[in-house]
Amino acid sequence: MTQPLASVQWDKELDQLILIDQTRLPRHIEYLFIRTIEESWEAIKSLQVRGAPAIGMTAAYGLYLGIRHAQNASRRELEQLITEQASYLASSRPTAINLVWALERIKTKAFNHPEISPPELIQLVLEEARLIQQEDENVCRSIGEHALTLFEDGIGVLTHCNAGSLATARYGTATAPFYLAQEKGWNIKVYADETRPVLQGSRLTAFELQQAGIDVTLICDNMAASVMQKGWIQAVIVGTDRVAANGDVANKIGTYGLAVLAKAHNIPFYVAAPLSSIDLNTEQGADIPIEEREGTEITHISEIPVAPAGIQTFNPAFDVTPSHLVTAIITEKGIVRGNYKQGLAELFQNHNIVELQINEAK
C-alpha cells in the first residue's frame, strides 16, 4: 500500500507550514511554503488547502505564524493579537466548522493559562496546533473502523468530493474505511463522483485512491443515478463540513442530490463526521452559512472558458442534506442513528466532550 500524501506538514527546522497545492493536482505535485498568516488565509480561501480537518489544521498553524514575532508584547497585547488574528483566519471560509473549532480550541487553551509568559504562550499555540494534527490521524482511523462495521467485502460504495487523506492528517473521514478495508484484504469497489465545479472527486479522490492501489472508478456527477439503478452501489458515504444539532448535514454541493437518489434506490446514506465537524450550537441546517464562490469556477475549467462570456452564474460551494435522508452519522466515538438531536447531544455527554462556544461561525 502506498503511503497517502500528507497535505499538511509542519517544518520544525524552518518554522514554516508546508502544504500540497491541491489546485495543481493531479497533474503536478507542488508544495507551498507558508511563512505568514496572510499566506495561510489565502491558501484556505483559494482552495489550495481544502477539506474541513485540513483547513482547521492550517488555520491553527496560521494563528501561530500570525503571533510568533510578538515575543516582546505584553500578555494583554498578545491575547488581543490572538483574538484579532483568529478572527481574520475565520473569515477565509464560512461553512466548515473545523476552521473556527480549531481557532476557538487554541484560544481557550491559551487564555486558560494566565500564568505563562508571552514567549511561552506563543509556543503553547504551536504545540496545540501540532496536537490537533496528531489527534486527527487517530480520529480518522477510528471513524474508518466504525464505518467498516457497516460494510462488507465486495460491495460497491459511492463517494462525493474529497474527504480523503488530502483533506485530513491521514486516512480521510469518508475514505478511511477504504484504506482499512485494503489492510484487511477486502476489495471494496469505490465509485467517485467528479464533483463539479472544481472537480475534487476526479482531481483528488480518484487520484489518491488510485495512488494507494484501491479499486476506484471515476464517474460524472450526473451518472450517479444510473450506477445505482444498475445495482452497482450498496452504500453512499460522504464527509461533511458541518453537522447541525438536528443532524442536518452541510457538505460539498451535490451531496443533497445523492441523498435523494440513495433514498429512491433504498441505498444507505452515511456521513463520516469527526466530532469537530458537529456544531451543537447550530440548531438546523437552514442556520448554516453557505459559502458562495466566484462564477468563474463554473464558466471555466483549468482557466479555459466553457460557457458564454458574461453569463449569469449561481455557485454555492455547499448544500444541506436534511437529517431524514441520513441513514447514520459515523464519528470517532461511535455511530449515531435515528433521533440525531438526542443522539448527537448524548455522544458529547457520554464521552465528556467539552462543547466549544463558537460565535464567529454564526
Residues whose CB falls within 8 Å of the CB of residue 131, separated by 6 or more in sequence, listed in order: none
Q: 158 near 255, Cβ under 8 Å?
A: no
Q: Nearest Cα to 265, choosing from 158, 154, 148, 152?
A: 158
Please check if 337 is assigned to a binding site: no
Gap between the Cα atoms of 72 and 28, Å rounded:
42
Catalytic residue among 136, 241, 248, 319: 241
Kindly give the pairing relationship between strand 8-11 and strand 16-20.
antiparallel
Please check if 93 is assigned to a binding site: yes
Please check if 200 is assigned to a binding site: yes
Q: 229 near 262, Cβ under 8 Å?
A: no
Please check if 22 is assigned to a binding site: no
CA 23 centroid distance within chain: 16
Please check if 51 is assigned to a binding site: yes
Residues whose CB falls within 8 Å of the CB of residue 307, separated by 6 or more in sequence, listed in order: 298, 299, 300
21 is catalytic: no
CA 349 centroid distance within chain: 24
Handedness of CA 125, 32, 27, 201 (dihedral sign): positive
Residues tagged in the binding site annotation: 50-52, 93, 200, 251-252
Residues tagged in the binding site annotation for substrate: 50-52, 93, 200, 251-252
Q: Which residues are catalytic?
A: 241
